[in-house]
Structure 1
Amino acid sequence: MEDIFNDLLSSFKSYILEDSTYKGGGKKVVLPNGVDAHKLSSNENPLGYSKKVKDAITNSLNELNVYPDNTDIRLREALVKDFDNVLTADHFVTANSGSEIIDIIAKVFLSEGDEVIVSQPCFLPYMAFTRWMGATAINVPMTEEYDYDLEGILKAITGNTKIIFLASPNNPSGNYIPFDKLTSFLDKVPKNIIVVYDEVYRHFAEASDYTSGVPFVLKGYNLIAINSFSKTYGLAGLRIGYCYAPLEISNYIRKVCKPFLLSSLALEGAIAALDDMDFVNDTVSLIKTERRFVLEELKKMGIKFWPTEGNFVLIDPPINDVDFTQFLLEKGIMVRPVSNFGAPGKVRISFGIRKANEAMLKAIKDLLNSELYV
């Protein structure tokens, strides 16, 4: 049997055998009676999801024996409306999560020997999905203040570069790329290179010079903007996302999209989510309010953190990240160490409802008054 396996092993791709499995923020912990658990490790929507989504999914349950729509056109038409009709349905591509959009992009643009450019700390699938295609991820690290080194990225471009990954706001650092800097950068990127612009946290950005990818797509830049229904809309469990790009790019990507790709529940849920702006506005308002509250309290405690436009904050914990995470976990607070994102020793904390945020802040205060902190 070992000889048979060895023969089979010769057919395996070495770059797929490498351990590159993405590990999420974990399930909510079960604690003793009287201790509340607050999951602030996965950037999930603290308000849950829209009642319109629940109604739409409930109404679809009686047809689970029937295939869903052959195409995603109804969802793409709903996205056109959501984007105020400045894009057409053909600009959009949908899939089972923003992560799958990244996977599809890697499949249609990368081959063995190609290169992509990433900037750590960043979302791990950028590198994992690149490796699965036999391509290489070149890291141009962010600055100490977690800003993109855009000039460094331009210098790192070679004849093998096919994709540049950018995120604004970026996960896990929360930083963003101002409109003028992004414009100047895109003007200098060779026309044969795709810029993937991850904007899944765009709804939470309030900087006056923040920009989505829309103006650049409309001007024909080779930019693909990635979005997800997991954050603002609270549909992480349905696994649905989308991107938009210039027509030449989006029409090309859609050639590999399978029929019946989206489940009927995901399709109806996403369409209903786009139809509930009240829920979206409530979510955005909560995150912005709680972001201001948490950052001010962290500042009072002397905890170092970085400015953020996302629904999370990156901190430098007062003790090592593993002990810090464990201490908070024992208090019922789940947070995310992000050394594997490329931010050694740092911890990402999602913003929740006020009760969760207060519990998290109290746990940090308890730590500062404990024997662990000297």
Structure 2
Amino acid sequence: MSKGIESIFKPYLQPKKAYEGGKGLPTDKGKKIYKLSSNENPIGQSPKAKLAIIKAIEKLDIYPDQTDIRLREALVKDFNNQLTEDQFICGNSGSELIDMILRAFIQEGDEVIYSNPCFLPYSVFSRWYGAQQVDVPLLEPDYRFDLDGICNAITDRTKIIFLTSPNNPTGSYIPKSILDAFFNSIPDNILVVYDEVYRHFADAEDYATALDYVKERRNIVGINSFSKTYGLAGQRIGYCYSTQKIAQYIRQIHKPFLLPITSIEAGIGALEDIAFIDKTVTTVLEGRNYLANAFQRLGIRFWPTQANFFLIDPPLPEFEFTDFLMEEGVMVRPVSQFGAPGKVRITIGDEEANKALVSALEKIKPRN
């Protein structure tokens, strides 16, 4: 007797709540909405990237580059020749690269460690490959990574540890001295996936990217995106870098013609647009200071951030708060789904958007 197609479904792919990205802008054009919910670039997109896309449109009838070599060569230049082209892998967003890494390393029953609150795809994507998920929560009240707790959670089945600095949605980061000690404490058969997509906005003196650890031949992959600093969220471009051994291994499952020609050209153009990068970072850092002062003045609890967003404890219940702000023309994001119940994440906008946010906050009557 037939058992039905469900009999061959993987048990760990049974229906569960999936990752839901941030909502798009409402279609009602009668009112201006400031979208401060998805950590997008506050000033738009790189002009050089935009020009490169326009030129690439003339080539839409032919296949794009078979590999990502031209974009990787541009990344070598962007990293001041500290790495070689075979240490980079490009893909359709940072999320795509996280999926690719999990597919390359994880077998059913392997363990993956992550720390809530965090970017939800770490857990959702690892489930797709049958990983056992180990959550070592961030330490409250300041949302520090519990690196000692992570070390204690390691078993002989641990394959991947996710670290994010600055972390989404908390904005917290891992100081370099603490990261150094961590790498000296973990076994050499574990891969650290180090998500640094917000690195351009980190100005702490002891902030560290994955670069130094890659140069030391540590087992680490640095994940990056063109969605934030370069303003190319709609193009879905990401890249990662690692040691030659790890990068060459992952590249074995890199599909040919993976990146559209518009993405390749946009990425190359964006990397060259230093003026736009500098303006973006300046806008974010100035906005970060402005909003921090406003939150303090209004008595709104917030967490220090090294990213282009704030995590706050809203003065109203989270959904009441987000609905109120939407009525005032400001779109922000509740982050219970990220493991931070009751909290809200607010992207730093341009000067006009930030002032609109503060104006809306000033209208709220705090709960008793």
TM-score (ref. length: structure 1) = 0.96
Tell me, in whole angstroms, the C-alpha distance in 1 between the residues paired with 2:253 and 2:172: 33
Query: 2:182 corresponds to which residue?
Result: 185
User: What is the letter of the counterpart of residue 95 of structure 2?
Assistant: S
The answer to whether the aligner puts 1:108 opposite 2:104 as a matched pair is yes
Cα deviation digits, residues 310-368 of structure 1 (max 9, x gap): 00000001111111111111111110100110111000000001111111111111112
Cα deviation digits, residues 169-196 of structure 1 (max 9, x gap): 0000000001100010011110000000
User: What is the letter of the counterpart of residue 247 of structure 2?
Assistant: S
User: What is the letter of the counterpart of residue 120 of structure 2?
Assistant: L
Match of 1:222 among 219, 234, 237: 219
Query: 1:208 corresponds to which residue?
Result: 205
Query: 1:46 corresponds to which residue?
Result: 42
Cα deviation digits, residues 107-147 of structure 1 (max 9, x gap): 00101001110000000000011000001210000111100
Query: 2:70 corresponds to which residue?
Result: 74
- Quickly say closer, same or farther: Cα 1:32–1:77, change in 2 above 3 A: closer
Tell me, in whole angstroms, the C-alpha distance in 2 between the residues paired with 1:49 and 1:362: 26
Aligned sequence identity (%): 52
Cα distance, 1:38 vs structure 2: 0.4
Cα deviation digits, residues 186-218 of structure 1 (max 9, x gap): 111100000000000000000000011100000
Q: Is the 8 A contact 1:31 1:332 kept in 2?
A: no
Runs of 5+ consecutive residues of structure 2 not aligned to the other structure: none
* Aligned residue-pair number: 367
Tell me, in whole angstroms, the C-alpha distance in 1 between the residues paired with 2:208 and 2:352: 32
- Quickly say closer, same or farther: Cα 1:98–1:218, change in 2 above 3 A: same
The answer to whether the aligner puts 1:347 opposite 2:340 as a matched pair is no
Match of 2:144 among 119, 144, 147: 147
The answer to whether the aligner puts 1:362 opposite 2:356 as a matched pair is no
Query: 1:293 corresponds to which residue?
Result: 290
Cα deviation digits, residues 290-329 of structure 1 (max 9, x gap): 0000011001111000010000000001111111111111
The answer to whether the aligner puts 1:267 opposite 2:267 as a matched pair is no
Partner of 1:348: helix, strand, or coil? Answer: strand
Tell me, in whole angstroms, the C-alpha distance in 1 between the residues paired with 2:32 and 2:296: 25
Root-mean-square deviation over aligned CA pairs: 1.2
Match of 2:125 among 129, 145, 150: 129
Q: Is the 8 A contact 1:101 1:242 kept in 2?
A: yes
Cα deviation digits, residues 49-73 of structure 1 (max 9, x gap): 1111111111111111100001100
User: What is the letter of the counterpart of residue 105 of structure 2?
Assistant: F
Cα distance, 1:20 vs structure 2: 4.2
Q: Is the 8 A contact 1:31 1:37 kept in 2?
A: no
Partner of 1:250: helix, strand, or coil? Answer: helix
Q: Is the 8 A contact 1:168 1:202 kept in 2?
A: yes
The answer to whether the aligner puts 1:98 opposite 2:99 as a matched pair is no
- Quickly say closer, same or farther: Cα 1:128–1:353, change in 2 above 3 A: same
The answer to whether the aligner puts 1:173 opposite 2:170 as a matched pair is yes
Runs of 5+ consecutive residues of structure 1 not aligned to the other structure: none
Match of 1:19 among 10, 16, 27: 16
Cα distance, 1:24 vs structure 2: 1.2
The answer to whether the aligner puts 1:330 opposite 2:327 as a matched pair is yes
Q: Which runs of 4+ in 1 moved over 4 A?
A: none
Q: Is the 8 A contact 1:30 1:37 kept in 2?
A: no
Query: 1:248 corresponds to which residue?
Result: 245
- Quickly say closer, same or farther: Cα 1:85–1:272, change in 2 above 3 A: same
Cα distance, 1:271 vs structure 2: 0.6
Cα deviation digits, residues 91-111 of structure 1 (max 9, x gap): 101110000000001000101
Cα distance, 1:21 vs structure 2: 2.1
- Quickly say closer, same or farther: Cα 1:345–1:55, change in 2 above 3 A: same
The answer to whether the aligner puts 1:55 opposite 2:51 as a matched pair is yes
